[in-house]
Amino acid sequence: MGETVPTGYLVVRASGATAARLAMDPGRSRAEPEQVQLLARMATPGRGAALTFGECSLRVGEDLVLLTVSTAKLSVGFGELRPLLFQPVPLADGLRSLVTASVAHLLAVADTLDPHGTRAYLLGLAELVLRSALRAELDRTDALATRRRAAVDYIREHLADPALTAERIADALFISRRRLYQLFDDGDGISGRIRAMRIERAKELLADPALGVRAIGEISRQCGFANAAHFSRTFRKTVGATPREYRDRVLTT
- Sorted by where each begins, the domain ranges of the chain are 9-142, 166-251
Beta 89-90 vs 9-15: how paired, if at all? antiparallel
pLDDT tens column, 85-102? 888 888 888 988 898 899
Phi, psi dihedrals of residue 102, rounded to the nearest 5° = -65, -45
| Coil, strand or helix at 118 | helix
Cβ proximity of 52 and 13 under 8 Å: no
H/E element, 68: strand 64-70
Q: What is the pTM of this model?
A: 0.55
What's the pLDDT tens digit per position in 11-62? 898 875 555 555 555 555 556 788 899 998 877 766 778 888 888 899 988 7
More confident residue, 182 or 223: 223
Strand, helix or coil for residue 39: strand
Summarised one tens digit per residue, pLDDT across range 190-244 is 999 999 999 999 999 999 999 888 999 999 999 999 899 999 999 999 999 999 9
User: Burial, 89: exposed, middle or buried (Cβ in 10 Å; 0-12, 13-18, 19+)?
Assistant: buried
Answer CATH for 166-251 from 4.10.520.10, 1.10.10.60, 3.90.1640.10, 1.20.1050.10: 1.10.10.60
